[in-house]
Amino acid sequence: MNLIRTIRNWRSYRQTVDELGRLSNRQLADVGVRRDEIPSLARRGL
């Protein structure tokens, strides 16, 4: 079960990073996020 949870967490992390990464710098600024913050924000979402 731990392996399954780890895989699900990784997939969720990657999806969040990918989706935020597709936003323009302007769109990120509108929601108060800098591009270099994306990985840490995605980790916090898990």
Task: Check residue 46 and give its pLDDT.
Answer: 54
Task: Check residue 1 and give its pLDDT.
Answer: 78
Which residues in the chain land under pLDDT 50? none
Residue 19 vs residues 2, 3, 26, 45: alpha-carbon distances, Å: 26, 24, 15, 13
Neighbours of 21 (CB within 10 A): 12
Task: Check residue 15 and give its pLDDT.
Answer: 97
Q: Decide: residue 40, CB within 10 A, 0-12 exposed, 13-18 middle, 19+ buried.
A: exposed
Task: Check residue 29 and give its pLDDT.
Answer: 97
Alpha-carbon torsion 38, 22, 16, 29, what sign?
A: positive
